[in-house]
Amino acid sequence: MRAYDIILKKRNGEILTKDEIEYMIMGYVDGNIPDYQMAAFLMAIFFKHLNNEERANLTEIMAKSGDMLNLSKIEGKKVDKHSTGGVGDKTTLVVAPIVASLGIPVAKMSGRALGHTGGTIDKLESIPGFRTSLTLDEFFKNVNKYKIAVVGQTANLAPADKKIYALRDATATVDEVSLIASSIMSKKLAGGADAFVLDVKVGSGAFMKDIDSAKELATAMVEIAKSHKKEAVAVLTNMDEPLGTFAGNSLEVLEAINTLKGNGDKKFVELCLTLSAWMCYLAGKDSYEKCHKLAYDSLKHGNALEKFKEFVIAQGGDKNVIENPEKVLPISNKYIEFKAKNDGYISKINTEKVGIACNYLGAGRKKKEDNIDHSVGLEFFKKIGDKVSKGETIVKLYISENSAAEIALELLDEAYIISDEETKKLNIILDIV
Ligand code: URA
């Protein structure tokens, strides 16, 4: 086999065999295929795409390029949740304890912030003492005892995806359905869960800007799961505005705790209950409707909050964060405000720019090696459809001395459009696949 022939075959729109895909992927991982040939191969896929079988094969090959986690030491059916990435997306911090409080094991490997989106691991690390790397034994023990553990991904989880993703990032080949779907699902399959709930974000802050392409991605991921004999449900959710009230690490933990105490943003709570209910349903507990009620009750009666406390203590975090989050979490007391320049209605938000503004404050990283500042972030006072008066605060920026606050303000100014006409508020749940 020659890389040249395989690239040519895909460039001409032909279907690749599993062996051909494996030759390219593993050859690249081993260093036998150079960047320029892999880049050409990715570009050929970008234009000619992959069919369902090719996608399933690519996913399996990438998953098996590293460790395949065996979760059989954890009792019960394991359901994982994945978000395709958004701004202010702290859902795992609420969904995981809700689901665990219903007796369903949540054995979660989460990622860090990259690009304009945040990562659960960085958020959890804003809790003093919290350990996001546990040994595999500790991980299994915690899930069996408390039904919940959340850790960072091991270095050897789908290493082919890691190497290829970096190349895609540099060669304008990220936003292709097969490549995104196989990238995400390879890590999910390697993570070892039995079933998956996929939160596919749609809109200005998501990879998929419109509902049709999001549906295509959702369907591709569900099909990949099915072809590996795993169940999956995809929930398409709105990312045309930031999720909830805060973006930024400590601030999002604060919001998650407030939500678990019953004081959550309405749409954020709706999303958390929907995702929790699907996880509970896939775990085989009951019908979707009954699972939704169970999730609602867990939140309402404080069971999920208790579970979150257990989880924080089990992973070494300061338990006082539950009673006094604002004292325990590092939250900057320095702030500036982004205010409305005229009267009207918020008619559009470029959410990706909002995420980038948050990064300029120091909440995210441009490169993997960058440090993040847990204390900074954004508080959202107005969403799409809200009325604003000139001079009213739209966003509060929690800043530190290293924040590029002026750039963040400029980005917010570009991101928020105020118009004279009344604009409809957005629904959070758009579709289910
Ligand atoms: N997230 C991933 O893990 N991979 C992609 O390709 C896009 C988003």
ipTM of this complex prediction, to 2 decimal places: 0.96
- Which candidate in 112, 147, 187, 383 is catalytic? 187
Longest dimension (CA), the chain: 66
Q: Answer whether 248's CB lies under 8 Å from 123's CB.
A: no
Ligand 1 contact via 184 beta carbon (within 6 Å): yes
The domains of the chain are located at: 3-48, 79-323, 330-419
Ligand 1 contact via 180 beta carbon (within 6 Å): yes
Distance 261 CA to ligand 1 centre (A): 32
- Which candidate in 82, 162, 188, 285 is catalytic? 82
Nearest Cα neighbor of 412 from 380, 376, 385, 388 is 380
Cβ neighbour number for residue 94 with a 10 Å cutoff: 28
- Which candidate in 10, 90, 162, 168 is catalytic? 168
Active site residue 301: no
Per-residue pLDDT tens digits for 115-136: 777 789 999 999 999 999 999 9
Q: What is the dihedral of CA 113, 117, 119, 120, to 10 degrees?
A: 160
pLDDT of 346 strictly over 70: yes
Distance 84 CA to ligand 1 centre (A): 7
DSSP state letters, 147-181 = SEEEEEPPTTSSHHHHHHHHHHHHTT-S--HHHHH
Residue type (1 letter), 394: I
Is pLDDT larger for residue 225 or for residue 165?
225
Q: Quick one: pLDDT at residue 261?
A: 98
Active site residue 420: no
Q: Answer whether 337's CB lies under 8 Å from 375's CB.
A: no
pLDDT of 238 strictly over 90: yes
Average pLDDT over residues 153-161: 87
Q: How far is CA 381 from CA 74, 94, 174, 221, 244, in A?
A: 42, 21, 32, 34, 10
pLDDT of 95 strictly over 80: yes
What is the rounded distance in angstroms from the CA atom of residue 348 to the CA atom of residue 354? Answer: 12
Query: Whose Cα sits closest to atom 5 in ligand 1?
Result: 180
What is the rounded distance in angstroms from the CA atom of residue 237 to the CA atom of residue 131? Answer: 30
The pick from 165, 171, 202 for probing ligand 1's pocket by mutation, whose C-beta has the most ligand atoms within 8 angstroms, reads 165
111 confidence band (pLDDT: 50, 70, 90): confident
Nearest Cα neighbor of 282 from 230, 358, 210, 330 is 230
Q: Which helix (H) or strand (E) holds 395?
A: strand 393-398
Q: Under CATH, to which class is 79-323 assigned?
A: alpha beta
Q: Quick one: pLDDT at residue 67?
A: 92
CATH entry 3.90.1170.30 includes domain 330-419 = yes
What is the rounded distance in angstroms from the CA atom of residue 79 to the CA atom of residue 100? Answer: 11
Per-residue pLDDT tens digits for 299-333: 999 999 999 999 999 999 999 999 999 999 999 99
- Residue bearing tokens 């019908």: 287
Active site residue 81: no
107: β partners: 149
The residue length of the chain stands at: 433
Active site residue 187: yes
Percentage of residues in the chain having pLDDT higher than 70 = 99
391 confidence band (pLDDT: 50, 70, 90): very high
The pick from 174, 176, 189, 239 for probing ligand 1's pocket by mutation, whose C-beta has the most ligand atoms within 8 angstroms, reads 174
Burial class of residue 358 (count of CB atoms within 10 Å of its CB; 0-12, 13-18, 19+): buried
379 confidence band (pLDDT: 50, 70, 90): very high
Orientation angle between helical segments 177-191 and 159-170, nearest 10 degrees? 150
pLDDT of 114 strictly over 90: no
Supply angle C-alpha 95, 99, 105, rounded to 5: 120
Q: Answer whether 295's CB lies under 8 Å from 102's CB.
A: yes
Residue type (1 letter), 149: A
Q: Answer whether 299's CB lies under 8 Å from 114's CB.
A: no
pTM across the whole model = 0.95
What is the rounded distance in angstroms from the CA atom of residue 90 to the CA atom of residue 109? Answer: 15
For domain 3-48, give the CATH number: 1.20.970.10
